A and B are shown apart, each in its own frame.
Chain A
Amino acid sequence: MRSYLKNILKWMDDRGGFSELLKPLTTHLVPPDATWNYVWGSATLFCLVLQVVTGISLGFLYQPSADVAYESLQYIENDAFLGSFIRGLHNWGASGMVFLMGIHMVRVYLNAAYKYPREMSWITGVILMAITIIMAFTGQLLRWDNNGVWSAVVAAEQMGRIPFIGKSISYFLLGGDTIGGETLNRFFSMHVFLFPALIFLMVTYHLYLVFRNGISEPPKAGRPVNPKTYRKWYEEMLQKKGVPFFPDALWRDAIFSALVLVVLLVLAFFVGAPALTTAPDMTNVNVDPKPDWYFTWIFALFALMPREIESYVMFFGPVIGIGLLFALPFLSNKGERSPLKRPWAVAGTLFIVLSISSLWYIGSIAPWSPRFDAEPLTKYTVPKASSQVERGIQLFNDEGCIYCHQIGEQGGIRGPNLTNVQNRLNKDQLIIRIVNGAENMPAYGGSLTKEELADIVEFLLQNQKK
């Protein structure tokens, strides 16, 4: 029996050529000291595989039609066996992919692995990053809840700022003048067919390049890359001390990917995907569109940027950013690779990471958004309030002051906290500010009567007792 099975396997391998196919893995030599710092790319690839599997699973459950997509998501989330877990895994897999890709990129940049002869690896990497971001974005939209559809509007508006062709692009993106049934169809086809196909092409090529040009050896200060001699030197180094890619290097990738899987499984199971917001409806304005975490920093940027330059930044920012990324291997393709000898590269990376992190942080608080759900003040906010102060409190709620200003613990944080405003502004100054507004505060002169104004000011002056 045993030998019978063995014969079958032998036949399959003889006619099917499986060992031949895999042989290059065991004969391909890599630098011996390629260590744990080399696992980021393969972990990103692992996430891609995970996305394909969970994506196909979701495809069996999802209805890509504007009319019922939301219902099918409810089904996935609430009724389907393991549905919410699969959705969670797809969500966290996407997060993992974006995150690991970011680290992979920073690693490659800091070690200058993009220099000769691996320029094309960097360039295809940048393309892959762009496609991944598109995938993350289109995926968020397929959730097709209110958050999803309004995110599509925001994206279209951003595209619309591109000079000359902006309007056509946003028309193309939405599949028309407004959000409609067309929109979901388009995003679905892009997310499920078009861009995955492009990713596969690019990933295959990216991997081919890894084999063709070899894994970059860990940099050493004082050993600059010289395009004239590098290839020969690399070849000789490999001949002398290279180790086979499989299993000497691949085992680390396997372990790390398994680790990533465990983390993603835990996150998917215990945290899950973002909760669905209300059903998509362009006539429902009681929504609070927020992007998924990968875009929170851009969201923050739009809120904080001076509006005079915003249109320019929205257009030139990405153009210059992407342009620089593509240009990088041409700007510097030889010389030192070690971060120890490239302090500016380290400083620049640190600066970008820090800026994005702070934008992230502030974006997650979104202090600029009015808090429509702020708990209204009651007459007890001021102890023993006079009837005028009570009226002032009521107005503070009704006029929407509370959406942007805090009294005590209650209220929004767009504007200054007004709990003790009487220590900063006197009565006249308060009146002037309320009537005239400021750059980020509307003028209330038109909508408040004299008495109402007096009531509010009286209340604000009272506040110290709180």
Chain B
Amino acid sequence: MCDCEEGQDKDTIKRRNFLTKLTSGIGMVIGAILAFPLITAMLDPVTRKKKQVWRRVGSMNDFKLGETKMVTFKSASPYTWSKKIANSAAYVRRESSNDFVAFSVNCAHLGCPVRWVEKSELFLCPCHGGVYYKDGSRAAGPPPRGLYRYPLRVKDEVLEIETQAIPITTMDA
């Protein structure tokens, strides 16, 4: 094709090879730079991850012996504009004068909210029919284990719950 001399031809090819590499290299660098904001924005929840915190859920005396009661509290690190959706709930049960347990409302199967049925002392799940006893252990249905618990402490007669991630049942549970 080339009506030039042979030496020139080789140079042209070399030059083209170089330019090809240069262009695709620059393209890749631009791509990488552009991907950066996308990735950082997507990973925002990771980079701003905060520690779990203790939240007050009521005074000790709000809970009667043997009673199971729902409490609500704010999750650990919501965006300030989350408002109401950042609230979580737990079931607190007073087992003896000094012993409390707090169950996650999330079913250990796939996380649907379980309801406490007072009279029969059972937690029922609306999704696939999971049932738990008052001590959180599995009674029936598909859940592979009992309800998850929140860490709980009493400080100056005030009950505090440590916020947790939505409990996720893994294969070995």
The reply on A334 being an interface residue by CB < 8 A is no
A154 B168 Cβ-Cβ under 8 A: no
A177 B164 Cβ-Cβ under 8 A: yes
Q: Which chain B residues in 58-100 approach chain A with CB under 8 Å?
A: 70, 72, 75-79, 81-89
Residues of B within 8 A of A160 (CB): 168-170
A366-380 Cβ-contact flags toward B at 8 Å (1 or 0): 001110100000000
Residues of A within 8 A of B159 (CB): none
Which residue of the partner chain A has the closest CB to B118? A398
A400 B89 Cβ-Cβ under 8 A: no
A283 B117 Cβ-Cβ under 8 A: no
CB distance from A354 to the nearest CB of B (A): 22
B111 A156 Cβ-Cβ under 8 A: yes
B168 A167 Cβ-Cβ under 8 A: yes
Binding site for B on A (CB under 8 A): 65-67, 149-150, 153-154, 156-158, 160-161, 163, 166-167, 170-172, 174-184, 186, 280-289, 299, 302-303, 305, 307, 310-312, 315, 368-370, 372, 395, 398-401, 403-404, 414, 437-444, 446-447
Q: Which chain B residues in 84-133 approach chain A with CB under 8 Å?
A: 84-89, 105-106, 109-115, 117, 119-122, 124-129, 131, 133
Residues of A within 8 A of B44 (CB): 175, 182
Tally of B interface residues using CB under 8 Å: 61
B129 A282 Cβ-Cβ under 8 A: no
Residues of B within 8 A of A315 (CB): 171
Give the complex CA separation of A150 and B85 in angstroms.
12
A65 B88 Cβ-Cβ under 8 A: no
The reply on B142 being an interface residue by CB < 8 A is yes
Give the complex CA separation of A154 and B129 in angstroms.
14
Residues of B within 8 A of A444 (CB): 120
What would be 28 A-B contacts, judged by CB atoms less than 8 Å apart? Answer: A149-B85, A153-B110, A153-B111, A154-B111, A157-B110, A161-B168, A177-B164, A178-B88, A180-B85, A181-B81, A280-B84, A283-B89, A284-B113, A285-B89, A287-B113, A288-B127, A299-B127, A302-B110, A305-B142, A369-B129, A370-B126, A370-B129, A372-B115, A398-B119, A400-B117, A440-B140, A442-B139, A443-B133
Residues of B within 8 A of A440 (CB): 129, 140-141
CB distance from B3 to the nearest CB of A (A): 32
Task: Say which residue of B144, B168, B170 sits within 8 Å of A307 (CB atoms).
Answer: B144
B127 A180 Cβ-Cβ under 8 A: no
Closest 7 CB pairs of A and B: A181-B82, A160-B168, A442-B139, A177-B165, A303-B128, A285-B113, A368-B129
B128 A368 Cβ-Cβ under 8 A: yes
A67 B82 Cβ-Cβ under 8 A: yes
Which residue of the partner chain B has the closest CB to A414? B129
Give the complex CA separation of A287 and B111 in angstroms.
12
A307 B113 Cβ-Cβ under 8 A: no
Give the complex CA separation of A438 and B114 in angstroms.
20
B79 A181 Cβ-Cβ under 8 A: yes
Give the complex CA separation of A442 and B134 in angstroms.
11
A166 B82 Cβ-Cβ under 8 A: no
Residues of A within 8 A of B171 (CB): 161, 163, 311-312, 315
Task: Say which residue of B70, B125, B144 sits within 8 Å of A311 (CB atoms).
Answer: B144
The reply on B136 being an interface residue by CB < 8 A is no
Residues of B within 8 A of A182 (CB): 44-45, 78-79, 82
Give the complex CA separation of A163 and B173 in angstroms.
12
A282 B88 Cβ-Cβ under 8 A: yes
Given contacts A154-B127, A312-B171, contact A282 B111 (CB under 8 A): no
B133 A442 Cβ-Cβ under 8 A: yes
A157 B169 Cβ-Cβ under 8 A: yes
The reply on B28 being an interface residue by CB < 8 A is no
Give the complex CA separation of A163 and B127 in angstroms.
24
Which residue of the partner chain A has the closest CB to B121? A447
Which residue of the partner chain B has the closest CB to A452? B119
A166 B170 Cβ-Cβ under 8 A: yes
CB distance from A248 to the nearest CB of B (A): 41
Task: Say which residue of B122, B165, B169 sits within 8 Å of A171 (CB atoms).
Answer: B165
CB distance from A110 to the nearest CB of B (A): 34
